[in-house]
Amino acid sequence: MLAISGGGAGGAFTVGVLSAWSELGTRPRFQVVTGVSTGALIAPFAFLGTQYDKRLRSLYLSDQPRSLVDLNWRGLGVFSPSLLQGNALREMVEDNITPEILGQIAREHRAGRRLLVMTTNLDTQRAVVWNIGAIASSERVDALPLVRQLLIASASVPGIFPPVSINTVVDGRLIEELHSDGGSSAQFFTLPEHLIVAPGRTGEGKLHIYVIINNALIPEFSMTASKALPIMARAYAILLKSQTKQGLIALYNFTQRSGIDLDIASIDEQVPYSMVDPLNGVYMRTVYRIGYRKAFGDHLWTQYPQFTISQ
């Protein structure tokens, strides 16, 4: 299993890891690939294989990410659902998740592999895990637009991108649910919570879980301006970091008592980053190189969560 976390522009770290892994010729053919937020945008191509590494590099290392910053000038988001309009993100997903890509995902699903992405249902305050392969291989006439909607929703950070309305049926009635960033619920997804917290479980069969965290788990020093938005942004970043740490600790404890192999990768170097310039090209190329260099040099994976800089 490969689990790809959220992290916005930090997704370039995963792209670097995948690129080096492919060149080394040691990249597994994962039975399960999961993605949350930016990880949901990467997951379909990581799932389909090494032939899509070039497309991922284009998506994360070209000037295309900058085009996603389509400001919503109506009060700069104050009187609207989000700071950005979200049209550019939608166009990017539509350009890359094509009928051909959907068909390939469907074939892999029928072969027994699974592609899962997570969104957050804002109405029910619950995480929702979507089986993208099952949707792709279904006979739904709306399979392609639905998959696109789910990927957009998973990557739609609240307040930055608008949430996505998804039609569903509850008790025979058609309703609209409002979904947004899966990272609001968890920064990565491996197994259902009820399994992870269940006591005394032992592993059945052999499972190897790889988790790529598109963020730094180490403390990162930065002076915070005494203004509302910088303080909120800094506090939110701390919240996400803490959420990721707790998720990794729970997963580590579960794998230890269940006999499951676990490998974790994260950005373990301090890279300057500004919340007011979230898709900075220099940052993305830097974390890409970190992922590539560490994966190629076999210095990437750790078997337990590490929250300090390695000496």
Mean pLDDT of the chain: 87
Q: When comparing pLDDT for 287 and 278, which is higher?
A: 287
Which one of 78-82, 105-109, 199-203, 282-286 scores highest in mean pLDDT?
A: 105-109
The pLDDT confidence band at residue 130, using thresholds 50, 70 and 90, is very high
DSSP string, 170-232: ETTEEEEEEEEEGGGT-S--SS-HHHHT-TT----S--EEEEEESS--S-------SSHHHHH
Q: What tokens does 193 get?
A: 């919570």
pLDDT in tens, 45-88: 999 999 999 999 999 998 765 555 544 445 445 555 545 666 88
Predicted confidence at residue 285, as pLDDT, reads: 94
Instruction: Look at 160-174, 198-212, 251-265, 288-302 and tell me which has the smallest mean pLDDT.
Output: 198-212
| pLDDT more than 70, % of the chain | 87
Entry pTM: 0.90
Q: How far apart are CA 152 and CA 287, in angstroms?
A: 23
Q: What tokens does 88 get?
A: 């550019």
- For 213, residues 6+ apart whose C-beta sits below 8 A from its C-beta are 5, 7, 187, 188, 244, 248, 264, 265, 266, 267
Q: What tokens does 309 get?
A: 């800089």
